[in-house]
Structure 1
């Protein structure tokens, strides 16, 4: 399935782009905030082969994609305007309350940073190893450059969080960045470092170190966003573009240094100290609980509540002793998926479990959890048991994390500190988690889906009798017919997108080739996809490389979901403007679901008029039309 098609189906499944208040993505999930969740079609989305599962958690509608989520996210930007508007009015979203609101805020703020945070964390861990074993000296300039590369994200974390928080709450990004910049401004840092007594118009200021902090800037930007909206209500349009930022800066920077900053630092330290105390009381029990429950936290989205604690510990103490136990849970579910792969007789499940195991080894557990262990139940329980054992070992060993990053094979260096203390315990813990979970998943068994087999009942065609023309496509464009092989674009010329023809237009009009429904109306207006009432899917792509024209030569008369009749005007284009921009006007007309048919044949040569017969579709027996019988899954037990 193409990313573009999947993106269109996801947008439709969440209730259309007008129902989307905001969208971010993490390593494996699209995280929608919807205006009305009742409009989302969760059941249909879960049936889509490109989607692992759909979760509703922390006030978000989460579509779990897997490793290709960045590509799908980008495709959503291509087929809709969802990503163009970073200032959606969150006030139109039903209010979330309590813990759900907190989780929604934290996940929206941190999710965009996870990828680069993991990359920087891995580099920081490798540098720790290199210096500990003597491969690199901290006095070398090479180390200085690499350490700046690895540590800059964490040092300037308030600036990055200012951006994501401003986007979440609809505040001015540059004003938020300026406030964050003031917190780490050299002269402000020097006041703290030198212990200088600081006052602001006679009010004492408790100076704190804000590098790498989390809570102060989040609180500051949230309040700033509210202040901006208030100012914009009363300040005249002619001056608000500079008066509102002026007021925001003059109020928020001192207020943050006086109130929000110290409060945020104290709260963050208090939470972190409480959790550290729990591990100090009984690291074995605390590690076992976290190792067993981490994937449950992930499923319900509440793990986001611990992410700021991990970061705060590393910022304040240079290390974190809580996060390592979570690694046991990751490797436990990896082992459970591996046990399923070894045990199952179902070829599709074996392939899925194998790929999910590989993905989970590198920290991406959603395909393993949602696609394999959780649906089969017993393997998921096996993972919980294995995670508890491994977490207990890691907790008792006193393993520490020295940088941020999702636990996985590549991020193991972030757990290697001075002298390697606690690192052997981590290796033993994750190995035990993997092996115990794999063994239990294999031994306990699960309901193994049985392969579907064709019945002896003769199959019948679904779209007519093979060998005849079962559906005709009328020409949507008047002009001269050009073979696809002569189109100056390999995607069309190779028929990789489907069979059809191209037309050099004689007029700037595109009409409906049959009665049907508009399935895609590209936001650049240069192309349309329409499905007939009989199932033929047609793409009309006006010109080559015309997407770069930003829709200027085009006038679109329909939108996605519209019912149209044969001959109805769909699109108008200025052919001369397209040519003046250096683009070819030749227009491919493609049957994109060609694979469902026996053949697609041209019915006309030379010049064609609008609504003249253009293509003939021959139906064929498809795999989906073959009657099948399904043997109920049999219990596979030791």
Structure 2
């Protein structure tokens, strides 16, 4: 199917924005739509390459393609509009599915308000990560210049830089000084209020005129917390605590949390035709004083308390702290629990002048990147092109940008053997920082004077640089060598991968041989959407030369019924092709003849076989059993396998399938019936394994 047809399918089901998820089975695309009411099956069926369209309950919609469904699925997922706006495959390797699965292990996904809280935090920070990353490189550059004695200690109190270097220093300050405004915008947008109103409310607290109100007033510790310094100034006789809100993140978060409900209330009580003017006005009228008098100081206090608590733990034992942080982060990041820690890092830098969390965190990041490097080495060794590309991109994002998510969601959470090896790397890196801190007498462990992303480029920003570099290096190589030594796949997964790879390579090699053989025998034209064109080419030519009827034998023992009785309109209507259906009495599907396995679904629910006579068969075990995702199925063959009559293909657990409520009726379909004459099923009734089931006659002109 051409890319244009793939785009037509997406458009026909309502566009990428209407697609919540997309999967496929042996013959059809399975869409989970946001709204299926407007999808016209006739429009979908008119698209070239589409064999049928089946609306289903629950906003689900199936598009029948046939043997080339994998190619069509790939074409759809490669469309630009599907990159961000459409749903991805709802399989284990889908990033959104992985995130949801991991979060479901904790309170997220189970306790609604906790889930909403962390979504609020992540969406408040995620859009500005690019700006933070860019600023961190400026900070690293300044740290490197100071290390090389090109400039004085740029972040020390009382240091005056040359105007040229002072300008470079302002480049990172532009992000961190005005960070509260960025957070206020994102957080307000998340709660459904006007983000510019939230921006304006927070901006009041950052105006030079606001801070000048405290001129000449001695700051005091708010509620006895030294990190929360405020100047108390009377405003209309009411004491207003005035603090330095630069780089603060808790005040804008609390402000937005209060602004959201207020905005909804104002929209309810103000007439619709007046909301444009008066909702923002009253929101600002209420929230600006409330934020200045109450919310802002509370935010400063909350942040200071959390920062002080972590500082106390680190002061008590930098050794333990350095080990706990890298071991905790691999579990915090999938749950989204690292976002509040980022806020505390920023607050530490503002109040203490340094941060002690990012150093141990670097051990986790580089252990993560090392595991990815191990996967990259193995993927090259195993000729795994797809994983090599994934690992290369993830490793580049990690080592150069300090971003762990591509490695974490793209690789590590998909293969459970990686995590234990990576945790060893985390422990080794943290232990190195802990022991080094004890030997060097470091009261706060490895620190940094700026918020940076832990990458290769930001190593100079950490002090002592040598200890930090050794720790992250050990974390990286420990994880990498452990993954290389033990593999990231289980032995079963590795065997399955190698079989699929070898079959694909054999099929690719056959493409150079099959066309010549087919051309000499004057066979049918092999369409690109066929299930296994390269493998099937020579057998088809043989069948056409023989010009004889072909008997398709029964793969199951049971009762033969017409296809029209199959509870699925695609099979019942003959959309896939003619054939018969069997109500099985046993639990094993056998090969109905000698041939080649063109498609063995890992879920065990469907098999494509090209018989030596040239007949292409689909055996579909049960209806909608793909939803079991392999549960209850023991697959005996793989793509490219040579099978003989009676070779077991799959054993299934009837109890599992019946308990799930799926019919066990098994259609046996001739997919390429157009290449032959009449296709005649046997009479209804009992049938044994190996008994005649379908007769495929040659075309009249071939006799």
The 3-state SS of whatever aligns with 2:483 is helix
Q: Deviations over 1:18-51 (max 9, x none)?
A: 69xxxxxxxxxxxxxxxxxx97999971459886
Q: Distance in 1 between matches of 2:127 and 2:145?
A: 29
Using the TM superposition, name which of 125-134 and 10-19 deviates more: 10-19
Structure 2 gaps, min length 5 = 22-31, 37-57, 62-85, 153-159, 218-230, 438-444, 516-521, 530-574, 577-614, 619-637, 643-703
Farther-moved stretch of structure 1 (318-327 vs 236-245): 236-245
Task: For CA contacts below 8 A with separation 6 or more, give which structure has more relative contact order.
Answer: 1
Shift of 1:239: 3.6
Q: Secondary structure at the match of 2:145?
A: helix
Alignment-derived partner of residue 347 in structure 1: 383
1:189 Cα deviation after fit = 1.1
| CA distances 1:147-175 after superposition (whole Å, capped 9, x unpaired) | 22111111011111111011101111222
**For residues 171 and 314 of structure 1, do their structure 2 counterparts lie closer, same or farther at Cα, with a shift above 3 Å needed?**
same
Q: For residues 411 and 173 of structure 2, what CA distance do their matches in structure 1 show?
A: 37
1:209 partnered with 2:244 = yes
2:479 is equivalent to residue 437 of structure 1: yes
* Pairs within 5 Å for 1:28-177: 45-47=89-91, 54-56=98-100, 97-136=112-151, 138-177=160-199
Does the aligned pair in 2 maintain the 1:109–1:168 contact within 8 Å? yes
SS at match of 2:89: helix
1:404-425 residue CA offsets vs partner (Å, 9 max, x unmatched): 3432123334x33xxxx32211
Report the CA distance between 1:451 and its aligned residue. Answer: 4.3
For structure 1, list consecutive stretches of 5 or more residues without a partner in the other structure. 20-37, 62-93, 472-532, 535-620, 631-638
| Pairing 1:387–2:434 present | no
Whole-angstrom distance in 2 between the partners of 1:104 and 1:469: 47
1:102 and 1:306 map into 2 onto residues whose CA distance is 14
CA distance in structure 2 between the aligned counterparts of 1:409 and 1:164, rounded to whole angstroms: 29
CA, structure 1 residues 44+287, in 2 after alignment: closer, same or farther (shift >3 Å)? Answer: same
Instruction: Assess, with a 3 A threshold, how the Cα gap between structure 1 residues 289 and 43 changes in structure 2: closer, same or farther.
Output: farther
1:407 counterpart = 2:454: yes
Task: Tell me the residue number matched to 2:209.
Answer: 187
Q: Please name the residue that 1:467 is paired with.
A: 525
Look up the SS of the partner of 1:364 in the other structure: coil
Measure the CA separation in 2 of the matches of 1:282 and 1:226: 42
Q: Report the Cα offset of residue 291 of structure 1.
A: 1.1
Please give the per-residue CA displacement for 1:87-140, whole angstroms capped at 9, x wherever unaligned.
Answer: xxxxxxx99634322211100111101111111111122113323433236431
Match of 1:308 in 2: 343
Distance of aligned partners of 1:96 and 1:376 in 2 relative to their CA distance in 1, 3 Å threshold: closer
Deviations 1:278-320 (A, max 9, x none): 1111212211121122122112222223121112212222321
Query: Given the alignment of the two structures, is residue 13 of structure 1 paired with residue 20 of structure 2, yes or no?
Result: yes
C-alpha distance in 2 between matches for 1:226 and 1:312: 27
From the CA coordinates, give the structure whose radius of gyration is larger: 2
In structure 2, relative to structure 1, the CA distance for the partners of 1:160 and 1:377 (3 Å cut) is same
| SS of match in other structure, 1:199 | strand
- Match of 2:441? none
| SS, match of residue 242 in structure 2 | coil
Does the 8 A contact of 2:250 with 2:299 survive in 1? yes
Shift of the alpha carbon at 1:260?
0.8
- CA RMSD, Structure 1 to Structure 2 (Å): 4.2
User: Which residue in the other structure is 1:317 paired with?
Assistant: 352
**Which secondary structure state, in structure 2, belongs to the residue aligned with residue 454 of structure 1?**
helix
